[in-house]
Chains A and B, each alone.
Chain A
Amino acid sequence: MSSFDPAAPVDPATHRATRPVRRWAYVLLLAPFIGTLWVSTYAKHSPTLFGFPFFYWYQFAWVIAGAGITTFVYLITTPRRRGGPPPDDGDATYPPGPYPGRSRQTAPGQAATERGQSR
């Protein structure tokens, strides 16, 4: 995962993601696994909530908690890109990439050659 030099400065002109920040946060994603796969901790009838046995409402609660955790991790690991709109902002155009040979504008013949090389 960290196969590129962490000390290298991020060039805003390239299309590489600004290096994800605060990677420790990914550990939080383990929580839903522990919460839902450890069945013996919640396979019981009481306490009930609105008539739902614990087994059922506990897992419904984890749906919400899981979504919340993923949202949180998304927010704190996604760097804001400097000098530009957020990545999904409409039809924002980006400067042409440094990989002309590999973008979708590649001529079909060129693309075929490239695939040929990868064989």
Chain B
Amino acid sequence: MNVDSVALGVFAGLFALVTVIGFAAVRWRRAESLAHLDEWGLGGRRFGGFVTWFLLGGDLYTAYTFVAVPALMYGVGATGFFAVPYTIIVYPLVFLFAPRLWSVAHRHGYVTPADFVRGRFGSPTLATAVAITGIVATMPYIALQLVGIEAVLQVMGVHGSGWAKDLPLIIAFAILAAYTYTSGLRAPALIAFVKDTLIYIVILVAVIYIPIRLGGYGHIFDVAGQKLAAKPKATGASLIPGPKGYDAYWTLALGSAMALFMYPHAITGVLATKDRNVIRRNAAALPAYSFLLGLIALLGLMALAAGVTAPKTGLGANLAVPMLFQQMFPSWFAGVAFAAVAIGALVPAAIMSIAAANLFTRNIWRPLFDRDATPAREAQVAKLVSLLVKVGALLIIIFLKVDYALNFQLIGGILILQTLPAIVFGLYTRWFHRWALLAGLIVGVVTGIWMAYVTPNALKTQMHFGSSVYHWTFFGWDFKAYAALIAFVLNVAVVVVGTLVLKSVRAPAGADATVADDYEAVAVPALDPAPVG
């Protein structure tokens, strides 16, 4: 593969543009000082509906989504389309619980979900467990954003050997780390405008132009259907899911929807808004991205119809869409499309590292090492940790195989869903006992990882962590379901039984720092700069 210099030039130009924006973001809605987590880590807690739509859209629909969802469609067909019901039902859930989280966080100055758990249940241990789970689930997710960048670089013909191979990735991440460090959440919020605009343009062009060249949607579905039917039966590939695939489909959609807003980076986006109604309105407006995601998923079928042959090893099917773009578009527009994917990786990577840094600072470092930390010191620690998190993600990608990174992501979804009882149930009731919640979290995490560990992939070429769908036979009842959701059910069972037992023996319940009214608060503060500690 030769280097496509036109595409690379356009790509580099757009990348340079967002770099400038990233550094300039520090001046946007300028705060007197960034030396406070509310400023560095939450952008001043004053994003309105418009900014939030771009920020959350840029945050939740990651480069990995744009590459992996069509890759799944390309590989197994209909199952990959679960991303659409997933992103449909996530918003009614957000509409219900996120405003309550916003209100209580606003009243009490909570920066992370673990801050809330600590205040609600009076349990630093439970809070730290939630924080650790969040960080462990987020790290590989950041690493996976690099897979998106790597995929487009590879298709553009940028590859070397040894250290030179990883150099472009290292440069991209170093730049990202630098402007996240200086500008905090303002950087990805501003870059999200560029990212989302580029993505919308590229996808709208792609879903109109490519079908014209390929002979229309009817033809694409026909050819893709034939190619999927010709794949090995064990993969379960088909254009329409068969009865055996129904349970996997709906459990993947439901489990993923419940997990999404437990991720620290999603909650960071929620808490950065200036009013609870901003979130409620966004729950109605964000499905525009879901529609886009459905169109992106179809690119996988287009790649099949266009006869794209993705390699079997390395990034594999993840290259299908970049290869489709290269085959179909003129060089300059392919450059725009590749830049859209790569910039699409930067926004969530930045927010995830900020969210992980907030968690570490507030819920691990502060309670364990520095109880009297001033806000300025907290912000400083968080900034440094955001650098470490990115270095860690880079190391995961460079030293572990991509396949392993994918496995970590699989586990990430399983882990993060287990924090739901403490966070979401906690928003509605204080009935659950903190120790029961902790026990449930541990049981969910352990059983979830175990289920992923014993599951081979469809063709049995990989015996462990082969799929997130666990095959369960239980007294003749055959069930294939998303492991995260099965683990969640066990988690909730433990929480309920544990609470009943602990209440009957009158175990100390811990102090609740919140009152009922906190969950409905709409207070918008006078927008003064945060105090400098």
Q: Residues of A at under 8 Å CB distance from B?
A: 1, 3-4, 15-17, 19, 26, 29-30, 32-33, 36-40, 43-45, 48, 50-53, 55-56, 59-60, 62-64, 66-67, 69-71, 73-74, 78, 87-88, 91-94, 96-97, 99, 102-108, 111-112, 114-119
Q: Given A44-B240, A51-B219, A52-B221, A87–B277 Cβ distance below 8 Å?
A: yes
B305, chain A: closest CB distance, angstroms:
12
- Whether a CB of chain A sits under 8 angstroms from the CB of B107 is yes
Chain B residues touching A, majority SS: helix
Smallest Cβ distance from B253 to chain A, in angstroms?
A: 6
Q: Is the CB of A91 within 8 A of B527?
A: yes
The verdict on B508 contacting chain A, using a C-beta distance below 8 Å, is no
How many chain B residues touch A (CB < 8 A): the figure is: 77
A-facing residues in B49-105 (Cβ within 8 Å): 49, 78, 81, 84-85, 87-89, 91-92, 95-96, 103
CB of B88 within 8 A of CB of A66, answer yes
Which residue, of A1, A3, A39, A55, has the highest number of chain B Cβ atoms within 10 A?
A: A39
Alpha-carbon distance between A19 and B521 when the two chains are bound, in angstroms: 10
B binding-site residues for A, Cβ under 8 Å: 38, 45, 48-49, 78, 81, 84-85, 87-89, 91-92, 95-96, 103, 107-109, 118-119, 122, 124, 216-221, 239-243, 245-246, 249-250, 253-254, 274-278, 280-281, 283-285, 287-288, 290-291, 294, 298, 371-372, 374-375, 428, 511, 513, 516-517, 520-528, 530-531, 533
Q: Are B275 and A88 in contact (CB under 8 A)?
A: yes
Contact yes or no, A32 B290, CB < 8 A: no
Contact A59 B81 (CB under 8 A): yes
How far apart sit A102 and B103, CA to CA, in the bound complex (Å)? 12
Whether A39 touches B513, Cβ cut-off 8 Å, given contacts A45-B240, A62-B88, A66-B92, is no
Across the interface, which residues of A come within 8 angstroms of B92, CB to CB?
29-30, 32-33, 66, 69-70
Known contacts A94-B526, A118-B119; A102/B109 CB under 8 A: yes
Smallest Cβ distance from B97 to chain A, in angstroms?
Answer: 11
Q: A37 touching B250 by the CB < 8 A rule?
A: yes
Distance of A96 Cα from B96 Cα, bound (Å): 27
Whether A88 lies near B49 (C-beta < 8 A) is yes
- A selection of 6 A-B contacts at a CB cut-off of 8 Å is A51-B218, A60-B291, A87-B522, A102-B108, A116-B371, A118-B118
Indicate whether A51 sits within 8 Å of B275 (C-beta atoms), given known contacts A59-B294, A96-B526. no
**Contact present for A39 and B241 (CB under 8 Å):** yes
Indicate the member of A29, A43, A104 with the most B CB atoms within 10 Å.
A104
Query: Given A43-B241, A53-B240, are A37 and B89 neighbors across the interface (CB < 8 Å)?
Result: yes
Q: Which B residues lie within 8 Å of A70 (CB)?
A: 91-92, 95, 283-284, 287
A94 to B106, CA, bound (A): 15
Q: Name which residue of chain A comes closest to B38, CB basis.
A: A104
Tell me, rounded to whole Å, the shortest Cβ–Cβ distance linking B323 to chain A. 23
Q: How far is the CA of A33 from the CA of B372 in the complex (A)?
A: 46
**Minimal beta-carbon separation of A42 from chain B (angstroms):** 9
